[in-house]
Amino acid sequence: MAKNRKDSFKTSSGIEPKPFYSASDWPPNGVSAESLLGAPGDFPFTRGVQSTMYRGRLWTMRQYAGFGSAKESNTRYKMLLDRGQTGLSVAFDLPTQMGYDSDHIMSTGEVGKVGVAISSIEDMEVLLADLPLDKISTSMTINSTAGILLALYIAVAKRRGISSDKLTGTIQNDLLKEYIARGTYIFPPRPSLRLITDIFDYCAKDVPNWNTISISGYHIREAGSTAAQEIAFTLANGITYVEAAIEKGLDVDTFAGRLSFFFNVHNNFLEEVAKFRAARRMWAKIMRDRFKAKDDKSWRLRFHSQTAGSTLTAQQPENNIVRVTIQALASVLGGTQSLHTNSMDEALGLPTEKAATIALRTQQIIAHESGAADVIDPFAGSYYIESLTDELEARATDYINRIEGLGGVVKCIETGWIQREIQQAAYDYQRAVESKKEIVVGVNDFVQKETQSPEILKITEAVSQEQIARLKAFKAKRNATSVQEHLRRLKDTAAGDSNIMPVIVSAVEAGCTLGEIADTLRGVFGLYKETITV
């Protein structure tokens, strides 16, 4: 059995908390608490990006879902909306993420397995059938093919008579973190940055209410980073995107207000609350002082959060309900704008309907029964929370300075420096688990024999066969000449420096598939080869 208490106490970032905190720890001598904190909705937004926060409007309950066919996923979305979800969040299968149609040889065995398969405008129409696109906000977790999926969404809305300025939502569109932590990249970093900034420019004019990027620390943390590293590497990526857009000639205030962020929520409850507060304050200073943004919307770090998949266990899966509840509460008390709560069975497979409902109900109980949403930033002024917020800011700022001293994010990705930092943190944590310095209930202590196997949702090969048959039929009925003309125009545009997004939108409207568009871009931009790090 576990010891009564730990021999030492540390947060994920290696911060050693004292046994208790008092006025001697915070605020610093001679400085008033109010001058440091400000009010909710005011610079530097430590206390929240809106003046009323959840007293004015609850966070968006945006459950991430998608599996199998577009039709099956559409049914799950309608179920979640019927049960009180307030925003859509689309998970795509690996072929869609990697730019392959469902009938490509590289898609074999993966169609619909970890998300929904989308190859054509017809697939997107089925996915979004009967959903009020002008009334709901849709998040799409997609990166290398983000521009193509956004184009498909715009094209479907247009077919329904909904103009693009009425659409609200987010595309993840964060390629730098793919090179760092996740791996669903296609093109090298520099053409990827071109695609991202083209989306910034296009949406500023044509889809003004769309969040053009969700700068993601989530996958960095899932790969094993600490909380301080998650802040640092995420904001450093954000700095890189802003610099690329400014270098392209965009005015910072035309696009910065539509940047959004995506953070993980782990088990160290108080460190997670402090992490969100520190990240908000840092970004506000970066945008106002470094990039000279004048619009206060450009200073606000708005973020979506998701509970930590890497903390879920296959052993005693019901324990995951407790973990998710703690993480969700930390996210709310940290001031999230939208939240996904993981299902208890995700260490075993795709969420079942029952597990997905429990995950959604967790958010609803926090919102309507806990009282946590009644007061804005209730931990403000806590000696420990404020000291921890300051310490996380200091450690994350030091990391950003080191990255810039090494030549910036792209250079640090190319040399593998950031990847090695995360790998070392993951290794240190794994050693702590194996030595029981860190206890994972049900895994390395409090273990019990499982008495029954939980229900697991599985995707059959019939889904793939049906999807491929539908795709072949779609391709057969297209105007082949028009498709080839649009792909030729796409190739020429990619080889030049004009904005590529209008051409992609026209291409999907003409029936070009996701794979055909991605293949055309591969032919121009080439493929990224990962730096091997040890």
Q: Kindly indicate the confidence band of residue 459, based on its pLDDT and cuts at 50, 70 and 90.
A: confident
Total domains, the chain: 1
Q: Kindly indicate the confidence band of residue 7, based on its pLDDT and cuts at 50, 70 and 90.
A: low
Residue 450's pLDDT is what?
A: 77
Whether omega for the bond prior to residue 27 falls within 30 degrees of 0, making it cis, is yes
Side chain identity at 10, as an amino acid letter? K
Most confidently modeled of 17-26, 32-41, 482-491? 482-491
In a domain, 35, yes or no: no
Give percent of the chain with pLDDT exceeding 90. 91
Q: Per-residue pLDDT averaged across 234-251, rounded?
A: 96
- CATH number for the domain spanning 357: value is 3.20.20.240
Give percent of the chain with pLDDT exceeding 70. 98
CB atoms within 10 A of CB 20: 8
Cα 416 from Cα 465, distance rounded (Å): 40
In a domain, 419, yes or no: yes
In a domain, 481, yes or no: no
Which residues contact residue 134 at a Cβ distance below 8 angstroms, ignoring those fewer than 6 apart? Answer: 157, 162, 166, 167
Q: Kindly indicate the confidence band of residue 531, based on its pLDDT and cuts at 50, 70 and 90.
A: low
The encoded tokens of residue 356 equal 């997905």
pLDDT at 532 over 90: no
In a domain, 162, yes or no: yes
In a domain, 309, yes or no: yes
Q: What is the 3-state secondary structure (H, E, C) of 478-489?
A: CCHHHHHHHHHH
The encoded tokens of residue 93 equal 């299968």
In a domain, 47, yes or no: no
Residue 197's pLDDT is what?
A: 96
* Mean pLDDT score across all residues of the chain: 95
Residue 453's pLDDT is what?
A: 75
Q: Kindly indicate the confidence band of residue 381, based on its pLDDT and cuts at 50, 70 and 90.
A: very high
Is the separation of the CB atoms in 200 and 213 below 8 Å? Answer: yes
pLDDT at 1 over 50: no
In a domain, 479, yes or no: no
Going through 98-227 in order, the beta strands assigned E by DSSP cover 137-141, 168-171, 210-211, 213-216
**Structural domain containing residue 324:** 69-434
Residue 259's pLDDT is what?
A: 96
In a domain, 100, yes or no: yes
pLDDT at 533 over 70: no
Is the separation of the CB atoms in 278 and 321 below 8 Å? Answer: no
Q: pTM of the prediction?
A: 0.94
Q: Is 357 helix (H, G, I), strand (E, B) or coil?
A: helix
Structure confidence by residue, pLDDT tens digits, 389-438: 999 999 999 999 999 999 999 999 999 999 999 999 999 999 999 999 99
Strand partners, 215: 261
pLDDT at 304 over 50: yes
Q: Which of 167, 152, 163, 203 is nearest to 509 (CA)?
A: 152
Q: Kindly indicate the confidence band of residue 2, based on its pLDDT and cuts at 50, 70 and 90.
A: very low
pLDDT at 283 over 90: yes
Q: Kindly indicate the confidence band of residue 502, based on its pLDDT and cuts at 50, 70 and 90.
A: very high
Q: Which of 333, 390, 317, 462 is nearest to 27 (CA)?
A: 390
Q: Per-residue pLDDT averaged across 286-303, rounded?
A: 98
Q: Is 457 helix (H, G, I), strand (E, B) or coil?
A: strand
Strand partners, 87: 62
pLDDT at 452 over 90: no
